């Protein structure tokens, strides 16, 4: 293909996206589009799967049967999202095994928030309320992204995430209206998860390397700072409603701008965790790699069994 | 309590689901593949759903303001009535699937009989649960076959798991006093009558899975009377942690 032909294809491609048409797996796409989507979608899939660990940590200790069932269902949803997103990713010509390799070798990233420990039951509330809340703000615009399989996956993912968010907030309501001890659990969880949740929406626009191209491909529709502001403005009244205090002395309603001003985010902490030195980075990777390695004989056996069955079938046919 | 036998009988059934559900819940996020992870979590979820139906009924029978959670989480170790089989640890995936299989074959046959109970609530619960349990049985049987007739390594692991857990199978067919009374009233299932078909079904599947049927005639029991293996105490300390640490609170 001549350079001119490629340019023409690229122009047609960009025009389709500008017209809000969906790009499907078999359509021609620039290599950079393919790679960027593999990176973002797999990062999302990895986040779902690693994200099962901090919440899975409380399944055996959930305080009531109702909460245990709800938590199990929630973590199962996350596994389902992971499966769905890995499959969507595979439509771009990469295998799930390759994607796992990237996660396990540290080449691929996952959301840094899951590198924080879940130390009390209230963290199940805070994660649902704040972490899933921030995730929804990130993800709702993706329901209209240009790559068809991703956009369709996100519609379903967002529906379930919004249910999780309400479930998390409901845990917090119950704690906040409970005994002083329970209220303290809720406030402590908010204190610990607030800043990491703000960081979850990504580095400030000035520091974000992917924004411009992603905006063009509708892989991103708002900047990190805009999303963060939206999250804060939405969450502060929810905290006030249940009598919890946002752990930010600089938080103040700005009448003129019609939004909240907030304090400085500790970006050193953000980059420390991103670079692999957060409180649980090593544990999370150890758990994932361990499950994969310990499961190898099981996967091998399943393959061997399927082959034997196939052979027997063929022999019978002869 | 007016109907203590019925209460104890319900606990005897529900505790199996409670303890096995707790064991399967431990695996969440650590399975050999995403698909098996989802399936194991789903089995756990089904079992806890069943537990809630049973304990809500037990709570009504007890009539002393104890909630489903009080019954599930605030008894002492000797008061849990599950069979020893379901409390055995998740040693590896072969043990997990062998435990599930050995219980599922029993569970399915049991629920099929419980559907005929003269106690309409128990019969309705059985009716709801049997659909879930028939799926569990299909899932665990498939894995016994895959691992038995897979690689040399998986076969050795599955055989080891079956041999180890075999000793706990006989207890499934042991009748307690509450069982006997409930059977005589038409509400309970006579588990002794399930034994022959159980060993036949299990044996047939092990054969398909190219595994040996253990010959051991030495069995362990005690769970139904509240005498458990050392594993249960640790499982309960997780299960009860929140209720014990923060007593009398709503969650």
Phi-psi category of A245—alpha, beta or left, where left has phi over 0 and alpha has psi -120 to 50? beta
What H or E segment, with its residue span, contains residue A254? strand A252-254
Q: Does B136 touch chain A (CB under 8 A)?
A: no
- B236 half-sphere exposure, CB direction, 13 A CA radius: 20
For residue A304, is pLDDT > 90? yes
Fill in the DSSP letter of residue A1.
Answer: -
Whether the Cβ atoms of residue A142 and residue A219 lie closer than 8 Å to each other? yes
| Phi, psi of B179, deg, nearest 5 | -60, -50
Q: pLDDT tens digits for B53-93?
A: 999 999 999 999 999 999 999 999 999 999 999 999 999 99
Overall pTM > 0.90: yes
Q: Which residues share a beta bridge with A259? A: A254
Q: Does B74 touch chain A (CB under 8 A)?
A: no
CB-based contact B154 A301, cutoff 8 Å: yes
Q: pLDDT tens digits for A192-225?
A: 999 999 999 999 988 877 677 888 888 888 889 9
Quick one: tokens of B142? 């498939």
| Phi, psi of A147, deg, nearest 5 | -85, 115
Q: So where are chain B's domains? A: 4-245
- CA A85/CA A156 separation, integer angstroms: 11
Give me the pLDDT at residue B39, please: 96
Comparing CB atoms, the residue among B32, B48, B242 nearest residue A61 is B242
> Cβ–Cβ contacts within 10 Å for residue A63, how many?
24
What H or E segment, with its residue span, contains residue A300? helix A296-317
State whether residue A252 is helix, strand or coil.
strand
Q: Let me know the angle formed at the C-alpha of B34 by B83 and A110, rounded to the nearest 5 degrees.
A: 125
- CA B196/CA B177 separation, integer angstroms: 22
Residues of chain B with pLDDT under 50: none
Q: Does B90 touch chain A (CB under 8 A)?
A: no
Out of 1.20.1260.10, 3.40.50.300, 3.40.630.30, 3.20.20.100, the CATH code matching B4-245 is: 1.20.1260.10
Whether the Cβ atoms of residue A64 and residue B241 lie closer than 8 Å to each other? no
Q: Does B44 touch chain A (CB under 8 A)?
A: yes
Give me the pLDDT at residue A210, please: 67
| Phi, psi of A219, deg, nearest 5 | -80, -10
Q: pLDDT tens digits for A54-77?
A: 999 999 999 999 999 999 999 999
Cβ neighbors of A270 (< 8 A, separation 6 or more) are A112, A199, A203
- CA A9/CA A29 separation, integer angstroms: 8
- Nearest chain A residue to B210 by CA distance is A305
Alpha-carbon dihedral of residues A256, A259, A262, A267, nearest 10 degrees?
Answer: -120
């Amino acid at each position: 293909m001549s350079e001119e032909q490629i340019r023409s294809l690229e122009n047609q491609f960009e025009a389709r996206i500008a017209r809000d048409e969906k790009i499907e797996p078999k359509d021609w796409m620039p290599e950079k589009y393919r790679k960027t989507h593999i990176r973002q979608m797999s990062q999302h899939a990895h986040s779902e799967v690693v994200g099962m660990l901090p919440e899975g940590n409380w399944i055996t200790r959930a305080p009531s049967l109702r909460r245990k069932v709800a938590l199990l269902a929630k973590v199962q949803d996350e596994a389902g999202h992971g499966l769905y997103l890995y499959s969507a990713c595979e439509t771009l010509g990469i295998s799930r095994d390759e994607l796992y390799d990237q996660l396990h070798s540290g080449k691929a990233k996952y959301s840094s928030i899951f590198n924080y420990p879940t130390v009390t039951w209230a963290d199940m509330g805070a994660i649902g309320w704040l972490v899933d809340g921030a995730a929804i703000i990130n993800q709702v615009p993706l329901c209209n992204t240009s790559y068809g399989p991703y956009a369709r996956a996100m519609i379903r993912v967002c529906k379930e995430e919004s249910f999780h968010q309400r479930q998390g907030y409901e845990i917090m309501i119950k704690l906040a209206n409970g005994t002083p001890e329970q209220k303290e659990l809720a406030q402590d969880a908010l204190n610990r998860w607030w800043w990491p949740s703000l960081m979850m929406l990504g580095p400030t626009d000035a520091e974000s390397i992917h924004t411009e191209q992603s905006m063009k491909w509708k892989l991103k529709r708002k900047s990190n700072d805009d999303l963060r502001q939206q999250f804060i403005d939405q969450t502060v009244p929810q905290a006030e409603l249940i009598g919890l205090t946002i752990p930010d002395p600089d938080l103040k309603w700005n009448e003129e701008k019609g939004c909240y001003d907030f304090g400085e985010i500790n970006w050193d902490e953000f980059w420390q965790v991103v670079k692999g030195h957060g409180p649980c980075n090593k544990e999370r990777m150890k758990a994932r790699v361990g499950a994969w390695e310990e499961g190898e004989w099981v996967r091998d056996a399943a393959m061997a069994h399927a082959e034997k069955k196939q052979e027997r079938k063929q022999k019978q046919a002869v | 309590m007016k109907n203590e036998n019925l209460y104890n009988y319900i606990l005897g059934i529900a505790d199996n689901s409670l303890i096995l559900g707790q064991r399967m819940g431990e695996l969440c996020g650590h399975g050999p593949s995403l698909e098996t992870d989802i399936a194991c979590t789903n089995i756990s979820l089904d079992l806890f759903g069943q537990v809630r139906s049973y304990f809500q009924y037990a709570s009504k029978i007890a009539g002393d303001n104890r909630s489903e959670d009080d019954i599930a989480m605030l008894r002492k170790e000797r008061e849990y009535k599950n069979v020893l089989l379901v409390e055995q640890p998740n040693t590896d995936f072969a043990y997990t699937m062998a435990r599930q299989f050995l219980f599922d074959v029993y569970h399915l046959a049991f629920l099929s009989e419980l559907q005929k109970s003269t106690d309409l609530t128990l019969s309705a619960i059985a009716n709801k649960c049997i659909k879930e349990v028939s799926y569990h049985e299909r899932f665990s049987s498939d894995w016994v076959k895959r691992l038995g007739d897979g690689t040399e390594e998986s076969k050795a692991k599955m055989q080891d798991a079956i041999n180890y857990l075999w000793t706990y199978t006989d207890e499934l067919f042991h009748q307690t006093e509450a069982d006997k009374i409930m059977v005589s009233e038409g509400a309970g299932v006579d588990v002794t009558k399930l034994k022959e078909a159980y060993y036949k079904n299990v044996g047939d599947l092990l054969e398909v899975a190219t595994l040996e049927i253990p010959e051991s005639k030495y069995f362990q029991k005690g769970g139904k009377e509240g005498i458990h293996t050392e594993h249960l105490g640790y499982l309960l300390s997780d299960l009860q942690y929140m209720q014990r640490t923060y007593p009398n609170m709503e969650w």
